[in-house]
Amino acid sequence: MSDDHNSPPEVSESEYRGLKIHAIPSLHEDCMAQIHALGLPKNARVLDLGAGEGAFSQRLLDAGLQVNAAELEPGRFRLDVPCQNINLNLDFHDKWKEPFDLVVAIEILEHLNDPRHFIKNCLQTLTSNGYLLVTSPNTESWLSRIRFLRDGHFLWFDESDYHGYGHVTPIFTWQVRQICDELGAKLVLVGSTKNDLLRQRLGESLAGKLKNKAFYLSALYPLMKGQKDGEINIYLIKKSQA
């Protein structure tokens, strides 16, 4: 789905219409719910970045949207729609002649060297009032904060994640909002997936999980601010602030 992207180790890979999904369960459905809520016209132009085999692109097609895709690995994308092989760490805003109504980048930001550069390029591919939907692991979640207190790193951003899964850049909601402000865009929604899988990361044993969760949540959870729930953040950005 992205540059050297792999699923987190505890998540089983699933499929959509025979196309592999490299994301946690329900993330694609949650993203599609946000897209449906936009009320885009039929045949609206959509760009799926880091498209992998094309599982999410297929969902977009099934919704009646006109899809283009980009994927780093040649030959990986399996749908019969336009797909370019692009390194998303580089400039890519000029790769298409016509602008898009929506750009989608699911689980891409954490694999890139410079999220600001990426978001800027995405905005440059949009129509004047187009939308960008991006997701990234929620470094602000209650469990990520506990992991940082205990181990000195955020959830999904330890050394094994760096080398094994290419998670090189954690990002926070305030940073996404600041980037949008500086680029003249508007962060219109911050959503998240459910917490179902967060407890799998808490401790090595069931007793440890329950003990740590009960202690930390009772002591610290009420004091936490920000996007403390949900393991994946979903950001919906509008190109124009007006």
| 177: its two tokens | 């909002």
Give 137's pLDDT tier (boundaries 50, 70, 90).
very high
DSSP 12-35: --EEETTEEE-S-TTHHHHHHHHH
> How many angstroms separate the CA atoms of 68 and 4, rounded?
20
Contact of 220 with 145, CB cutoff 8 Å: yes
Residues of the chain above pLDDT 70, percent: 83
Task: Give the residue-averaged pLDDT of 94-101.
Answer: 97
Give 100's pLDDT tier (boundaries 50, 70, 90).
very high
pLDDT tens-place string over residues 142-163: 888 888 888 888 887 888 888 9
Single out the residue of 159, 156, 161, 160 nearest to residue 145, CA to CA: 156
Flag the least confident range among 8-22, 43-57, 72-86, 88-102.
8-22
- pLDDT on residue 221: 73
- pLDDT on residue 164: 83
**In this structure, which amino acid lies at residue 156?**
W
Give 22's pLDDT tier (boundaries 50, 70, 90).
confident
Q: Which of 87-91, 169-173, 208-212 has the highest mean predicted lDDT (pLDDT)?
A: 87-91
Give 8's pLDDT tier (boundaries 50, 70, 90).
very low
Average pLDDT, the chain: 86
Torsion over CA of 238, 4, 191 and 42, rounded to 10 degrees? 50
Domains of the chain: 14-140+161-198+229-238 (3.40.50.150)
> How many angstroms separate the CA atoms of 118 and 238, rounded?
15
Give 215's pLDDT tier (boundaries 50, 70, 90).
low
pLDDT at 204 > cutoff 70 = no
pLDDT at 52 > cutoff 80 = yes
- pLDDT on residue 242: 62
- pLDDT on residue 9: 36
> How many angstroms separate the CA atoms of 157 and 5, rounded?
14
pLDDT at 51 > cutoff 90 = yes
Give 141's pLDDT tier (boundaries 50, 70, 90).
confident
Helix (H) / strand (E) element for 192: namely: strand 186-192
Single out the residue of 200, 7, 10 nearest to residue 106, CA to CA: 7
pLDDT at 209 > cutoff 60 = no
Half-sphere exposure of 25 (CA within 13 A, CB side): 8
> How many angstroms separate the CA atoms of 18 and 135, rounded?
23
The size of the chain, in residues, is: 242
Q: Residue 41 region, left (φ>0) first, then alpha (ψ -120 to 50), else beta?
A: beta
Q: Which residue has the higher pLDDT, 11 or 171?
A: 171
